[in-house]
Structure 1
């Protein structure tokens, strides 16, 4: 890496060479130049040359890469574009700003591709037809702000990049990537995933507080932080990203936070997830495609819902810019040769063939107001356009006298998170959460209560199973996950414990192959009399087998924490269900199944000879009593084997 003069940036645009400018700290800009190569799969990203020497690569990963995980999408053919870095230089930030162009880039015929009322109708349909029918907890549906641009693409990129450097703060990456006919310029607030020296980090951000005129205040931020919708959104995306962490990290991942992410016009709430992994960074990237904050949960079905309701392909929106950097330390046996730094491609403007496109999305949950979500897309688009100088900027933040030290009147205002009341409000969120995911996950003495036992976890298209399997391993079980479409009857028969997992959809519908197979798994295992634990969807299927009625809830329990009685013990558990098994109030047994239900008859758990089930997600961060309840239910299911 070498130093470069700021005038070199203008020369790059004039010469028409592919380049990327990245600001990752307050004082410098990284300048990357090289050759562009498009590849088909993440595994094809060239991290070594023909002689085996490591290469530095910046990859633009489009949303269509979710096909590698078997997920649906509108396939627009957007290339997985790799800039093979030949030179990596550093420019002083302030000197570069002074040299970059500043003349406004005019826009022609600006507007959204989908009208406000049409977008509100889409929101209503997603809430009613998807969330309301059990297809998932939350979904992100986008629309695009578009306009014509006659300015040269590279000049526009440099102009917008300068505006971001001058006017945006708090971004994880501020960047301009120019590769021939395609330009991407943005200030991403969120690191989707990074891997450095074997430590994987994810940074789920959710909840968007748009600063009022004059700037944020303690009072307005407090109102935002007390919002049930915003709090639940963040918890749901943390759960979704922990699913990914549990898939790529041997220690499952640990969460820290919550924190505030303060930017110039917006403030977000965030957590940080960390764990250790020895996987190739391309595999880590593949297993974490893509952030639930811009797709939804559960991830696989979120992609299906997006395909149903979005009218056009996403391009690079919600994908990542992934920088693969050769490690400079001695490479240990079995460890990766590269580190990874991959922010989410949001808050980004794209320019191609003279058309500007700014994709923005709203997170739809059961509480969503259609016109509120319309307003959120307007706010996000205005934030990007204002940040790049394409529209008038918001009023600058005013100095907040309440957080300025009178003994140092020239000091910058303190971050809102430093206010004791705000800090206490943030910290109080963790009182609701499972300590298992907040604390280091040390191995249990003696290998856990079920040391040496085997378990097969059947995945029904909800990767909560990765978290569940990690918890089972913590309890001593040798747990492996098999998809519903691949698990055989022989594998079901061979396992000491079968865990039939959760999944989206209506449990009363036998028409889909997935629902039919999950019914077969539960029915077959019950017929053998061997230990079975059924979770959420599979709990409902088990209940149906006892003749217990299944019914939709009046209001879906998506990301809802409840304290319920589980066979005589109170437990705080997270729920993600739209349907419930329901008995007559007061019922305590059906056949040989003991029933744990509430006063309305909604069944939270079943147990009997060789089986147990739970409606909630004991693996969720919302399940404060998840581990202890899981241990009790596994012990109950294993009783016949132990006898």
Structure 2
């Protein structure tokens, strides 16, 4: 229901006077949505009450805390933060200008303000994560947070409304600007990033990564161009796109297609982003569960990222890196109920006010060549977007003025993405990427391996979902099996077993997951049945064949290389810290052919009777020649031994 304009200010005033729970959401430049209703806390995503007792669909706004990763069996500092649901009774659209005019403007004093972890101490954490986690093969990237905290006097709701108005006025480029007020808890923020949405069966994810901190006076095409040329920032974005494609491949039958890159231009920061889209028939609550949570605020691979976060963060995250999920009843073409649409931004750039204490959590994405001092600066920049708007730190008024297009009829934000040089730099990024994920994907029903079956063993890296999608594209009927539930009988009957990638040291036989993957590779190799091994499993296969293993001098996390794969050059993406290694020039060991770096002896691929393996990730967006290389290796593994 949308009341007449004259009734709209009264609707907001009545809600504020009642003290009832409510939410304000700005998703466009002209409207603020007012949601009111009752609060219900539930235990699981499946419990979100999207229907009433009679099965009638209803609208729900759910605040999903980070601790909800326990639903997927992942680790966390569990603070028991509630999965809080506002069951919407009224949803009103208000004119944005009138809402702003009705909200308070007096500054909210802060006391004892500052980061909970000192800059130097945070820089030491960054060094430790790079050396002890990325440097030991635990993953490609990790997000470690710190909190800006302060004491706030006076009424919490008045403070929150003041900050909400300030964000509407001073922050630009946000996906949602919002305030959610429920008993004992207030959240207000301007999230730049849509984690996942589902509308009419189309699922969209929006990975944002790479952070350009605007210099004093504002961003220019020249300063932005320097940022876009950064290898670290470019690879950071590619890695999170890979991680979100893993999720898309798990929930979408067509695997997902990427478009972009684009710029997300905000008041103090500019980010780079892609859009991923695919089709799904899943319940939106299941989509949300399968995509918990964004790699841009956790890391990759996801499960191990949660473990690393628990090791290096000292306190629970609360709602930071969770989502605000709006489930809205939808209708089919005939007007009948058709489930729910989902719109779920990530809970970042958000201020939380509980018991008079303000908390603004921020994190930096740590990769193999992160600069600790640079990551410290990144957390300051991310916090400043919220803190500047609410008056906790000075705003850059010169930059705000410079960001407006003076030639427009009214003051409109000036878009650096419209600069021809910037547009060309963005477009050039896709020249490095796999066409398979950029172009529409045809059905695999007529693929070269149609009618065959494959079992993919997941070693805690959901790259396996992308591998499975590519194998389906090649014609296979594919089943993914977790390493701890790998069924020997199912593997025995499969035409092909693909032993997948995963984190960790392949030499660590005391690790139950590594030991289980050794068992998978050994059993299949002993049977003579077709086997393809990827990354970690490639290293395990190499060890089984008598080839030595060791760490790389520098991790290859998110590295693109052109290599020779048995006489054919291939551009492949690598995510490895360890490698199999032979003497330079070695091309054969017994019946095993070896494709290795001619200088270092690092083994890129193996093939022999009934088996083939690859160190790189052929499924990655960084693997321009990934699908063709996968088809060649699979064809070799399937070749009868007598004909090989």
With the shorter chain as reference, the TM-score category is over 0.9
Equivalent in the alignment of 1:592: 591
Equivalent in the alignment of 2:416: 416
Gaps of 5+ in 2: none
Looking at structure 2, the residues matched to 174 and 151 of structure 1 have their Cα atoms a distance apart, in angstroms, of: 23
Equivalent in the alignment of 1:457: 456
SS at match of 2:197: strand
Asked whether 1:468 is paired with 2:467, we answer yes
Looking at structure 1, the residues matched to 204 and 398 of structure 2 have their Cα atoms a distance apart, in angstroms, of: 32
Please state how far the C-alpha of 1:392 moved relative to its aligned partner: 2.2
Contact in 2 for aligned 1:193/1:341 (Cα 8 Å): yes
From 137, 140, 143, give the equivalent of 1:140. 143
Looking at structure 2, the residues matched to 402 and 185 of structure 1 have their Cα atoms a distance apart, in angstroms, of: 25
TM-score by length of 2: 0.97
Looking at structure 2, the residues matched to 466 and 78 of structure 1 have their Cα atoms a distance apart, in angstroms, of: 30
Q: 1:642 to 1:246 in 2, by over 3 A?
A: farther
**1:356-505 equivalence runs, <5 A:** 356-397=358-399, 412=412, 414-444=414-444, 447-505=446-504
Asked whether 1:212 is paired with 2:211, we answer no
Please state how far the C-alpha of 1:13 moved relative to its aligned partner: 2.7
Please state how far the C-alpha of 1:211 moved relative to its aligned partner: 1.2
Asked whether 1:553 is paired with 2:555, we answer no
**1:285-324 equivalence runs, <5 A:** 285-324=288-327
Contact in 2 for aligned 1:139/1:297 (Cα 8 Å): yes
Please state how far the C-alpha of 1:14 moved relative to its aligned partner: 2.9
Please state how far the C-alpha of 1:12 moved relative to its aligned partner: 2.3
Gaps of 5+ in 1: none
Equivalent in the alignment of 2:228: 225
Looking at structure 1, the residues matched to 332 and 642 of structure 2 have their Cα atoms a distance apart, in angstroms, of: 50
Looking at structure 1, the residues matched to 66 and 333 of structure 2 have their Cα atoms a distance apart, in angstroms, of: 34
Q: 1:491 to 1:271 in 2, by over 3 A?
A: same
Looking at structure 2, the residues matched to 65 and 368 of structure 1 have their Cα atoms a distance apart, in angstroms, of: 29
Asked whether 1:128 is paired with 2:127, we answer no
Cα deviation code 1:116-157 (max 9, x no counterpart)? 222111111100110000000000000111111122111111
Question: After the TM superposition, which of the residue ranges 446-455 and 227-236 deviates more from structure 2?
Answer: 446-455
Equivalent in the alignment of 2:92: 89
Please state how far the C-alpha of 1:388 moved relative to its aligned partner: 2.3
Looking at structure 2, the residues matched to 108 and 403 of structure 1 have their Cα atoms a distance apart, in angstroms, of: 37
Looking at structure 2, the residues matched to 66 and 7 of structure 1 have their Cα atoms a distance apart, in angstroms, of: 40
Please state how far the C-alpha of 1:410 moved relative to its aligned partner: 6.9
Please state how far the C-alpha of 1:111 moved relative to its aligned partner: 1.2
Equivalent in the alignment of 1:635: 635
Looking at structure 2, the residues matched to 400 and 355 of structure 1 have their Cα atoms a distance apart, in angstroms, of: 34
Looking at structure 2, the residues matched to 9 and 119 of structure 1 have their Cα atoms a distance apart, in angstroms, of: 42
SS at match of 2:594: strand
Looking at structure 1, the residues matched to 105 and 294 of structure 2 have their Cα atoms a distance apart, in angstroms, of: 33
Q: 1:642 to 1:327 in 2, by over 3 A?
A: farther
Question: After the TM superposition, which of the residue ranges 223-232 and 387-396 deviates more from structure 2?
Answer: 387-396
Contact in 1 for aligned 2:499/2:534 (Cα 8 Å): yes
Looking at structure 1, the residues matched to 131 and 390 of structure 2 have their Cα atoms a distance apart, in angstroms, of: 37
Equivalent in the alignment of 1:624: 624
Contact in 1 for aligned 2:321/2:346 (Cα 8 Å): yes
SS at match of 1:2: coil
Looking at structure 2, the residues matched to 387 and 482 of structure 1 have their Cα atoms a distance apart, in angstroms, of: 48
Please state how far the C-alpha of 1:541 moved relative to its aligned partner: 0.2
Equivalent in the alignment of 1:522: 521
SS at match of 1:485: helix
SS at match of 2:77: coil
Looking at structure 1, the residues matched to 110 and 208 of structure 2 have their Cα atoms a distance apart, in angstroms, of: 31
Question: After the TM superposition, which of the residue ranges 363-372 and 463-472 deviates more from structure 2?
Answer: 363-372
Looking at structure 1, the residues matched to 309 and 12 of structure 2 have their Cα atoms a distance apart, in angstroms, of: 39
Contact in 1 for aligned 2:584/2:597 (Cα 8 Å): yes
**1:22-33 equivalence runs, <5 A:** 22-33=25-36
Contact in 2 for aligned 1:123/1:364 (Cα 8 Å): yes
Please state how far the C-alpha of 1:591 moved relative to its aligned partner: 1.9
Question: After the TM superposition, which of the residue ranges 362-371 and 54-63 deviates more from structure 2?
Answer: 362-371
Looking at structure 1, the residues matched to 518 and 290 of structure 2 have their Cα atoms a distance apart, in angstroms, of: 28
Looking at structure 2, the residues matched to 625 and 280 of structure 1 have their Cα atoms a distance apart, in angstroms, of: 34
Looking at structure 2, the residues matched to 390 and 127 of structure 1 have their Cα atoms a distance apart, in angstroms, of: 32
Looking at structure 2, the residues matched to 402 and 572 of structure 1 have their Cα atoms a distance apart, in angstroms, of: 42
Q: 1:289 to 1:520 in 2, by over 3 A?
A: same
SS at match of 1:372: helix
Q: 1:304 to 1:398 in 2, by over 3 A?
A: closer
Please state how far the C-alpha of 1:246 moved relative to its aligned partner: 0.1
Looking at structure 1, the residues matched to 272 and 335 of structure 2 have their Cα atoms a distance apart, in angstroms, of: 37
Asked whether 1:100 is paired with 2:99, we answer no
Q: What CA RMSD, in Å, does the superposition of the two structures yield over aligned residues?
A: 1.7
Looking at structure 1, the residues matched to 192 and 403 of structure 2 have their Cα atoms a distance apart, in angstroms, of: 27
Q: 1:560 to 1:603 in 2, by over 3 A?
A: same
Contact in 2 for aligned 1:349/1:356 (Cα 8 Å): yes
Asked whether 1:201 is paired with 2:215, we answer no
Asked whether 1:158 is paired with 2:157, we answer no
Looking at structure 2, the residues matched to 62 and 484 of structure 1 have their Cα atoms a distance apart, in angstroms, of: 28
Please state how far the C-alpha of 1:180 moved relative to its aligned partner: 1.1
Please state how far the C-alpha of 1:332 moved relative to its aligned partner: 9.8
Equivalent in the alignment of 1:606: 606
**1:334-349 equivalence runs, <5 A:** 337-349=339-351
Looking at structure 1, the residues matched to 131 and 19 of structure 2 have their Cα atoms a distance apart, in angstroms, of: 50
Looking at structure 1, the residues matched to 605 and 458 of structure 2 have their Cα atoms a distance apart, in angstroms, of: 20
Question: After the TM superposition, which of the residue ranges 241-250 and 161-170 deviates more from structure 2?
Answer: 161-170
Contact in 2 for aligned 1:207/1:234 (Cα 8 Å): yes
Looking at structure 1, the residues matched to 169 and 594 of structure 2 have their Cα atoms a distance apart, in angstroms, of: 62
TM-score by length of 1: 0.97
